[in-house]
Structure 1
């Protein structure tokens, strides 16, 4: 008999962004935060005449969130290049995977696959000479679909 299933931890993950037909990932830097892996379904409600105590629920359209990634700014400007290139060519898309890892940093627990991503906001870090904090940049990107790939499907 198997023991209880323990929940995954959220501190060990990687993000892989691949632009168009390029072989190497767009970004080779680690992100400190990742949020916005979500999808929701609109529900249509239909009332049947004469059946006042019941309603029919039908699946409606699915909508997807917006991924928000934050990282310490470095001399890797690939996100800025991608945003600039997307302005020049609005058809430019990328595919991305957010990989949830086990505490050992190697074992893949799950992959969230995002298709046809486009950057929608790129925010430079706030600057403050008094703080001495790490400069954190933020990328927001929209995606068209979100699927979960289990470890046995790798």
Structure 2
């Protein structure tokens, strides 16, 4: 994806989707869903469950035990997923239709969210694993502006970590 066109001017987050193993499970499936530009990204939350263990004879405190990690759904707002030619890709909507239509095996995507600085270069990045589309709020089409954007894309995923941009 180039740094020109609609993604270079309006969006602060770039999101790239790839299949885990790059299509090893289904050679007919696209290995990349494309890259998207979004104006807002929420859900970069990780919460660790901590269990308390009341140790006998220890009255001055409680032992804290590590539990499971919980991640929030990623919510990408006001954006679009574009292909190499700078056109809106139908693959995102195809993926959503396959998941909601019961196509098996369910295709999941890994992804990378990059926060872009003023010079359009990544300043921070987060990688997520095995995402599924949990909710999509489609575009509000306006003839005056010609904008075609996704209002909200909610992604349920299985892991999040900060990576070098």
TM-score range, shorter chain: 0.7 to 0.9
Q: Distance in 2 between matches of 1:13 and 1:125?
A: 18
State the TM-score, normalizing by the size of structure 2: 0.69
8 Å contact kept, 2:112–2:125: yes
Tell me whether 74-83 or 84-93 shows the greater mean CA deviation. Answer: 74-83
Question: What is the DSSP-based 3-state SS (H/G/I as helix, E as strand, rest coil) of the residue aligned with 1:30?
Answer: strand
User: Deviations for 1:9-49, whole angstroms, at most 9, x for unmatched residues?
Assistant: xx7321111245234x4134421221111111000101112
Q: CA RMSD in A?
A: 2.8
Tell me if 1:94 matches 2:109.
Answer: yes
Q: Which segments of 5 or more consecutive residues in structure 2 lack a partner in the other structure?
A: 1-10, 24-29, 81-86
Q: Which residue of 2 aligns with 1:68?
A: 75
Q: Distance in 1 between matches of 2:158 and 2:14?
A: 20
Q: How many residues align?
A: 137
Question: What is the DSSP-based 3-state SS (H/G/I as helix, E as strand, rest coil) of the residue aligned with 1:140?
Answer: strand
Relative to 1, partners in 2 of residues 1:60 and 1:99: Cα closer, same or farther, differing over 3 Å?
A: same
Question: What is the DSSP-based 3-state SS (H/G/I as helix, E as strand, rest coil) of the residue aligned with 1:32?
Answer: strand
State the TM-score, normalizing by the size of structure 1: 0.74
Q: Which residue of 1 aligns with 2:156?
A: 142
Q: Paired residue for 2:138, among 124, 131, 141?
A: 124
Q: Which residue of 2 aligns with 1:39?
A: 46
Q: Paired residue for 1:48, among 51, 55, 58?
A: 55
Q: Distance in 1 between matches of 2:125 and 2:156?
A: 18
Q: Distance in 1 between matches of 2:39 and 2:90?
A: 17
**Residue 126 of structure 1: CA displacement?**
5.8
Relative to 1, partners in 2 of residues 1:13 and 1:72: Cα closer, same or farther, differing over 3 Å?
A: closer
Q: Distance in 2 between matches of 1:90 and 1:120?
A: 17
